[in-house]
């Protein structure tokens, strides 16, 4: 691993000096210079390909004007997509010439490998991870489901008229408790403080992630069963939406930014793609301030909103989810949706712990 780190840094240096960006040019320039290392050639190729990735990210960040340090690999880690083999229940990785290290694989890994191809392996001091790839056939959606994210819940509305609320109070509570502990902590030793926050922060992060994983898993599984495409608001500007001077209180803002809508969006997106479901993003404007039936403007003060124009009385979040769904349907029309929209909605509440 130490040698791999050195090779990787050599490759990064060469890449920076020569301005090589593609895997091919970097290979041509760096492979000769890695001659000095007495390691299987698979690792040289691995280091070159890893360096290409690192350099690509570095250049991308630089183009966007983000201030970044020149890349340098510090962590002891070995990543390669070449040279390894899986034989029955053993992973064989090359070591010195002709020798191989054998690593037994567990049942779960073997099961995954039986339906997917291993693409690369990453070895760290205490961990081995294998990344898989599978062929995904995109499912033609029979309908769509709109997802509205809120302070304490996610509200779903699909094109068959069904709505559902996933309660996320737990995640919000964990986050706000953490903020409280942090605010109360007055000890002045910076190092101790940092260490405690880091430890506490990791723990609460894990708990929140777990809750979000349950929620995203449920949403995607459900969408798969019904062959629904998923519609979400584009949250890339979410922090801008909830910032100072937008008329929200400080407490509200920090809670809105807290349980990571972005993380949930990311989870739903990759899980959906893994299942071949399509994901549509719509602009997050006006979804909660308009009637989902007639488009008339609504005031957002209460839990339940009543439209002054058409008389629709509906839960505020359900209304927003329906608007998101409608935006998605405009983007990608699905045949039976319109007649289904007027059906009476059945509501289910699911709580994730």
Footprint of Zn ion on this chain (CB under 5 A)?
Answer: 291, 293-294, 296, 307, 309-310, 312
Closest to Zn ion by CB, 171 or 291: 291
| Radius of gyration, alpha carbons of the chain | 25
Q: Name the nearest CA neighbour of 259 among 174, 353, 318.
A: 174
Q: DSSP assignment, residue 125?
A: S
Instruction: CB nearer to Zn ion: give 294 or 349.
Output: 294
Minimum CB–partner distance for residue 290 and Zn ion (Å): 8
CB of 307 to Zn ion, least distance (A): 3
- CB of residue 306 to Zn ion, shortest distance in Å: 9
Cβ contact 161:342 at 8 Å: yes
Q: Find, among 20, 314, 330, 2, the residue nearest to 161 by Cα.
A: 314
Question: In angstroms, rounded to a whole number, what is the distance separating the alpha carbons of residues 151 and 132?
Answer: 35
Structure tokens of 215?
A: 């929620």
Tokens representing residue 57 in the block: 């990210």
Cα 149 from Cα 135, distance rounded (Å): 31
- CB nearer to Zn ion: give 307 or 326: 307
- Residue among 7 and 305 whose Cβ is closer to Zn ion: 305
- Facing residues of 86 across strands? 91
Report, in Å, the least distance between residue 295 CB and Zn ion: 7
| CB nearer to Zn ion: pick between 223 and 305 | 305
> DSSP code of 297?
B
Q: How far is the CB of 133 from Zn ion (least distance, A)?
A: 47
């Amino acid at each position: 691993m130490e040698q791999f780190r050195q090779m990787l840094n050599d490759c990064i240096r060469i890449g920076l000096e020569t301005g090589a960006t593609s895997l091919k040019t970097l290979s041509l320039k760096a492979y000769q210079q890695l001659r000095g290392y007495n390691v299987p050639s698979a690792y040289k190729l691995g280091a070159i390909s890893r360096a290409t990735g690192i350099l690509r990210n570095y250049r991308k960040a630089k183009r966007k004007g983000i201030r970044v340090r020149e890349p340098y690999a510090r962590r002891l880690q070995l990543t390669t997509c070449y040279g390894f083999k899986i034989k029955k229940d053993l992973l064989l990785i090359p070591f010195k010439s002709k020798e191989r290290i054998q690593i037994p694989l567990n049942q779960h890994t073997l099961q995954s490998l039986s339906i997917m191809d291993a693409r690369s392996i990453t070895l760290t001091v205490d961990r081995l991870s294998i990344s898989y790839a599978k062929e995904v056939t995109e499912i033609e959606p029979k309908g769509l489901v709109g997802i509205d994210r809120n302070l304490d819940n996610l509200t779903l509305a699909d094109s068959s008229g069904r709505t559902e609320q996933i309660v996320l109070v737990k995640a919000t509570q964990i986050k706000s408790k953490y903020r409280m502990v942090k605010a109360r902590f007055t000890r002045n030793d910076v190092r101790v403080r940092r260490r405690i926050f880091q430890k506490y922060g990791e723990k609460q992060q894990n708990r929140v992630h777990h809750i979000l994983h349950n929620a995203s898993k449920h949403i995607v599984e459900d969408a798969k069963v019904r062959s629904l495409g998923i519609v979400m608001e584009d949250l890339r500007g979410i922090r801008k939406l909830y910032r100072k001077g937008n008329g929200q209180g400080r407490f509200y803002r920090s809670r809105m930014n807290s349980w990571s809508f972005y993380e949930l969006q990311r989870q739903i997106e990759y899980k959906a793609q893994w299942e071949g479901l399509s994901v549509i993003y719509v602009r997050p404007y006006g979804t909660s301030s308009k009637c989902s039936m007639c488009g008339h403007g609504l005031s957002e003060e209460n839990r339940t909103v009543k439209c002054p124009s058409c008389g629709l009385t509906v839960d505020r979040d359900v209304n927003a989810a329906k608007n998101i769904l409608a935006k998605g349907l405009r983007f990608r029309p699905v045949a039976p949706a319109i007649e289904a929209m007027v059906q009476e909605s059945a509501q289910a509440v699911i709580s994730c712990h």
